[in-house]
A and B are shown apart, each in its own frame.
Chain A
Amino acid sequence: AQSVTQLGSHVSVSEGALVLLRCNYSSSVPPYLFWYVQYPNQGLQLLLKYTSAATLVKGINGFEAEFKKSETSFHLTKPSAHMSDAAEYFCAVSVPGASDTGRRALTFGSGTRLQVQP
């Protein structure tokens, strides 16, 4: 079974500083990997996804993530944090379904709450 581990339930950075949110996955088959963001009292919004093409994935709002198979990691970065980036971030993995080649549900990590200090 697949799983996702997000290191650090809370991360605090200063405005303008580098954002690094860590995600490690476990999967016996090539995974698809996702980062979602959840703003307070809202649903989840897709930031970016990796689906076995380029290992460096660029997403919305200046975020990017790099798939590193040797490290089983998919860390999320942003060069310069903005106050508006304060939210909860979820890493997720999906793998092929058992009965066909379709991919099924997302397995989410426990989330990382990002605080941005002025």
Chain B
Amino acid sequence: DSGVTQTPKHLITATGQRVTLRCSPRSGDLSVYWYQQSLDQGLQFLIQYYNGEERAKGNILERFSAQQFPDLHSELNLSSLELGDSALYFCASSVGIGTSTDTQYFGPGTRLTVL
């Protein structure tokens, strides 16, 4: 158990819908990262937040957005869902902003299925 929690574990929805994935980082960690794992794209970085502020952006679609709240939990919002958005979405957390001493600890993931 990494200490990172993600809810829900599974999510099944229809095309065009909007969903919210939630992540609680390990106690004391200030950074939260979101990754998408799909069969065709592999593991891809989406976005990073550090202490409430966006710090880095990867291959995140405009239909996707995220935020980190004052209690440091984070939410990833996916809208206008398409079949291709079906994937495993991981959240990871680390203590700092990303230095040599930082290790990213991954949650168990949320499996999103878009029908």
Q: A44-B90, A45-B2, A105-B33 are in contact. Are A94 and B106 (CB under 8 A)?
A: no
Return B58 CB to nearest CB of chain A, in Å.
6
Q: How many A-B residue pairs have CB under 8 A?
A: 61
- B108 located at the interface, meaning its Cβ lies under 8 Å from any Cβ of chain A in the complex: yes
**Prevailing SS type, chain A contact patch:** loop
A97 cross-chain contacts in B, Cβ below 8 A: 55-56, 98
Question: B45-88 vs A: 1/0 string, CB under 8 Å?
Answer: 10010000001101000000000000000000000000000000
Q: Which 6 A-B pairs have the closest CB atoms?
A: A105-B45, A108-B43, A43-B106, A103-B98, A44-B106, A51-B100
Interfacial residues, chain A to chain B (CB-CB below 8 A): 32, 36, 42-46, 49, 51-52, 90, 94, 97, 100-111
Interfacial residues, chain B to chain A (CB-CB below 8 A): 2, 4, 33, 35, 42-45, 48, 55-56, 58, 90, 92, 96-109
